[in-house]
Amino acid sequence: MGLKHDIRRAPAVRDRGTEADLQARIVAGNQVWVVGDIHGHLGTLRALMHRLNLQEEDRVVLLGDMIDRGPDSAGVVEYVRQHPQIIAIKGNHEQMAVQSLQATNIELDSVWMAKGGASTWGSYIVAAKGDLHRAKLTFAEDCAWLADLPSHIVLDDWRLVHAGYHPRVDLDNQDEKTLLWIRRAFFKHDAPLDEKRCILFGHTPTSKFKRVGEIAQSKIQLEDGRPSWLAMDTSAYNHENPGIAAYDLTTGDTIRQKTLRSEHWWLDNETREAPVAEFFGLSELRRRAKKVVAAREKARRRLAMAGVSRRVKAPVSFRIVKRKLPLVEEVIPSSGTQSQDSVIFRV
């Protein structure tokens, strides 16, 4: 992983243990959900996971491209790594990020930066609250994990891959670059690539198949009547009907989660990345700091108006209240001692 040559031409990698486990769960009737590209939309992913209502033996497989473009790629990777029921395969955006890790040094790959990597790197700096050393350490650890992800998953009736397969290469001899980057040569092929298995893939937005925000399927069918492929990248940051989708391999059910309003970063942004990419997260840190200061000042003013705290900066609103009782007693009992605020009676 420390070499500077293009490592994407390495042979495709499978995890036989994971494949056996997933297949056993399908046979047992447990749900195995497959989810398309997340692209840094942590809130939307969490909302989808809540809607899946997972049972203990259910699993979720992410088809790569967990990072880049969106507002919190660092948060997505942390969430996926810590969730015991999520399994991930590698996408081309993960591979570009991995290439930025050269031995013990981080050298941000220019290709990755141009394709959405700035938002990911910015999200690590924001997560570290501006501590660059901490951000680098976390990024390096995550890259090591991303590098070890399988290139695809092969089950009895399904193939799960990020981009697809080359139709003129034997399925068992495909290289990783093909599985992570191929487009038209794969889904334009006029025959099933695997006659027994339906291929689920992301990478290419389903808007290319005139299914904006929805799962798309091939017109070519397998012998059992299923489509030869299902396209799962419903585009979390599409201007029209953005969201992410999940497909259950056991039942064929689908669930689609619209991108949360709080993550519609493209509405006021002319670039193809969330604002966290600006100055590698420094602008976001400044914005959050100003927001915190404003919130604290607002809270102090409310406390002062309620009479709880006097530490507040102007402006502060006051109102005059007519006192109902006199400040000093007008009649002084002969057996008492007068003070300015009260009368003390002697027994």
Domain residue spans of the chain: 7-279, 287-345
pLDDT at 322: 53
pLDDT at 88: 98
CB 206 within 8 A of CB 37: no
- Residues with Cβ < 8 Å from 179, sequence gap 6 or more? 12, 151, 152, 161, 162, 163, 164, 165
pLDDT at 270: 78
Please give the backbone phi and psi of residue 154, each rounded to the nearest 5 degrees, phi first: -115, 120
Q: Which two tokens stand for residue 277?
A: 């990419």
Please give the backbone phi and psi of residue 65, each rounded to the nearest 5 degrees, phi first: 55, 50
Write out the chain's pLDDT in tens, 347 residues.
333 445 447 889 999 999 999 999 999 999 999 999 999 999 999 999 999 999 999 999 999 999 999 999 999 999 999 999 999 999 999 999 998 887 667 888 888 988 999 999 999 999 999 898 999 999 999 999 999 999 999 999 999 999 999 999 999 999 999 999 999 999 999 999 999 999 999 999 999 999 999 999 999 999 999 999 999 999 999 999 999 999 999 999 999 999 999 999 999 777 889 988 887 666 666 677 777 777 788 888 887 777 775 554 555 444 444 555 554 544 444 444 444 444 444 43
Architecture of domain 7-279: 4-Layer Sandwich (3.60)
pLDDT at 294: 76
In terms of DSSP H, where are the helices of the chain?
Answer: 16-27, 42-52, 73-82, 92-98, 110-112, 118-127, 132-147, 176-181, 184-187, 282-305
Distances, alpha carbon 197 to alpha carbons 27, 116, 138, 192, in Å? 16, 32, 38, 9
pLDDT at 107: 82
d(CA 180, CA 308): 60
pTM over 0.75: yes
